[in-house]
Structure 1
Amino acid sequence: MSAPVTAERRLAGIIRRHPVTSFLAWSVPVGQAIAFQPVVAPAWYGVDLPTAPFVVLANLVGLLLPAVVVTRVVDGPAGVRALWRRAVRVRVPLRWYALALVVVPVATTAVAVALLGPPDSGEALAAAIVSGLLVQVLLGFLTTNWAEEVAWTGFLQTRLQDRHGPVRAALATGPLFALQHAALAAGNGWLGGTVVLLFVTATAIPFRFLQGWVANRTGSLLVVGLVHAAGNATTDGSGFGGPGLLPRLYLDDGVGPVHLVASAALGLVVVAATRGRLGGRPRAPRVGAEPVLAGRP
């Protein structure tokens, strides 16, 4: 007589058969419930709550934690170790750090200058680079963007790429990644929030091209997180310690989401230059294995 199947074993079986769906079933409701607390707090609780701590908590509990848990159930300890190695891989050619810390900020600044003209008098450039870019990159990476990219690129986009290829993986990940930012868009009202969310979605897809390419070529989710953090630090900042680079140079603080446009443009260049390969090579999925990398040093 076979042993009865427990609820725990049934749940583990469902997760193994449907890892992406299982991740989203946790990530979307839990992450959004946390992220929306500052939005609903004035009406529900009669208090104003800061946004940044809830964004950090939503990323840790609503993204990183389910990515690790589902990986553990599906691929076992070997899968978690493989994900961790990619998350902390530091040894990559310096050009990839230059992409994050130089190319992304310069491209974003170029978009701002094209749309808004040269900066006003603002802060001195050197001070703005240190406090508005480098410090904000570090804070954003440590509090938010590293966890985001371990989940979005390291877990979700990689698994979709294994099955559907890099372009389809980015096309599927982009709208989900944009949805994560719904609470931030909601601050513009329902109509304005919808427009903002549609814009974020339109730019998120080519941004996922860029992130998939960086991950495939380096095997480093650390660098992927730095690319993400650098774009945010050039405009919005990290949410901690003041504004990013461009708001310190433009006196009216009104640079807008130019980093989304710049990152999307870089992603479109990458997908065209690689002819949709995004640095990846097709392979059969293997439990606990790291992705095959076209450009691993």
Structure 2
Amino acid sequence: MSPPVVSERRLVGVVRRHPVASFLVWSFPVGQAIAFQPVLAREWYDVDLPTAPFVVAATLLGLLLPALAVTRVVDGRAGVRALWNRTVRVRVPLRWYGLALVVVPVASTATAVVLLGPPEGTGWVLAAALASGLLVQVLLGFLTTNWAEEVAWTGFLQTRLQDRHGPVRAALATGPLFALQHASLAYGNGWLGGTAVLLFITATAVPFRFLQGWVANRTGSLLVVGLVHAAGNASTDGSGFLGDGLLPRLYPGVTVGPVHLLASAALGLVVVAATRGRLGRSPSRGTRGGAVRPFRGRRAARVHGPPAVPGEWW
């Protein structure tokens, strides 16, 4: 047997035994190497590169691709198909789309009103902000980054951790890793300011992962999870393409970046309290590790997540 074949089999064995670690070993070096290119270009060559295309590339090559590759190695083609079915699942109750497109932006706006007072714009300003600042930015952010992000963070990482350690511990572990993904965006504030920003993102990321885990467990749809993420971003920073999000248009000249983080964290804390830590997960019907249950029609069992607990909130 030739050495390359032996090495390949050993690598496959390591990935199968340690899927989460394998994902992280690929994700962070590749993703951050891409995401930091605008930072390095500015620091070393005094060249301003647009950030958004590099964020998209880092998401696709540093998050989505390793999530799919590790799933293929560990769970085979059936695992990839199951993940794909969750990724494109559209048929969920309309209230979940309302959560993403109404509740999340309203929570962000309410937080801004509490912190900054009511906006001074007219009804036309509000209408324009809702159309181009919220809806357009939700669509752009969802299609370019947030959907793929949540396939990796929720569909792959958090779900696997949840299968082994439970929903709350999975969110506690995923939150800091999710926050660290944004290191290149925080770096623009300098070392001290960037560290403070990263710590703040980490503190809000954990309850945000409570929210995302709950949505995934209750709907089985990573599409809806991605919409929730995109709606939060569109409420403030936007997608990075074609202008600002909702609140910068209502509060011009005011820094509103942290507002949606606070709002999403508050929603996550409400969810974890209301579900008493279950986050939509049945404690008696979990799956182990990467176990795959095939989809069979409309009543198919969810992969990496049992049916929602009857009578639980929402």
Query: 1: CA distance between counterparts of 2:20 and 2:101?
Result: 31
Does residue 34 (structure 1) correspond to residue 34 (structure 2)? The answer is yes
Partner of 2:145: 144
Give the Å deviation of 1:104: 0.2
Offset from partner CA, 1:102-146 (integer Å, 9 cap, x none): 000000000000000011227621111010000000000000100
Give the Å deviation of 1:284: 3.0
Give the Å deviation of 1:253: 3.7
TM-score by length of 1: 0.96
Query: 2: CA distance between counterparts of 1:168 and 1:3?
Result: 43
Residue 284 of structure 1: which of 274, 283, 287 is its match? Answer: 287
Aligned partner of 2:135: which letter? Answer: L
Give the Å deviation of 1:295: 6.0
Query: 2: CA distance between counterparts of 1:25 and 1:214?
Result: 27
Q: What are the equivalent positions in structure 2 for 1:65-76 lying under 5 Å apart?
A: 65-76=65-76
Farther off after superposition, 246-255 or 21-30: 246-255
Query: 2: CA distance between counterparts of 1:83 and 1:60?
Result: 16
Give the Å deviation of 1:45: 3.5
1:170–1:212 contact (8 Å) kept in structure 2: yes
Partner of 1:59: 59
Farther off after superposition, 220-229 or 44-53: 44-53
Partner of 1:7: 7
Q: CA RMSD in A?
A: 1.7
Query: 1: CA distance between counterparts of 2:93 and 2:39?
Result: 42
Give the Å deviation of 1:254: 2.2
1:121–1:251 contact (8 Å) kept in structure 2: no
Q: What are the equivalent positions in structure 2 for 1:1-297 lying under 5 Å apart?
A: 6-121=6-121, 124-282=125-283, 283-285=286-288, 287-289=291-293, 290=303, 291-294=305-308
Query: 1: CA distance between counterparts of 2:125 and 2:45?
Result: 42
Offset from partner CA, 1:229-255 (integer Å, 9 cap, x none): 000001001000100011111122422
2:63–2:152 contact (8 Å) kept in structure 1: yes
Name stretches of at least 5 consecutive residues in structure 2 with no aligned partner: 294-302
TM-score by length of 2: 0.91
Farther off after superposition, 251-260 or 96-105: 251-260
Give the Å deviation of 1:48: 1.3
Farther off after superposition, 284-293 or 217-226: 284-293
2:68–2:80 contact (8 Å) kept in structure 1: yes
Give the Å deviation of 1:67: 0.1
Query: 1: CA distance between counterparts of 2:43 and 2:233?
Result: 29
Segments of 4+ moved more than 4 angstroms: 2-5
Name stretches of at least 5 consecutive residues in structure 1 with no aligned partner: none
Offset from partner CA, 1:6-52 (integer Å, 9 cap, x none): 11111000000000000000001111111011111123334211100
Farther off after superposition, 244-253 or 165-174: 244-253
Please give the secondary structure, in 2, of the residue aligned with 1:48: coil
Offset from partner CA, 1:189-208 (integer Å, 9 cap, x none): 00000000000000000000
Give the Å deviation of 1:53: 0.4
Query: 2: CA distance between counterparts of 1:293 and 1:39?
Result: 44
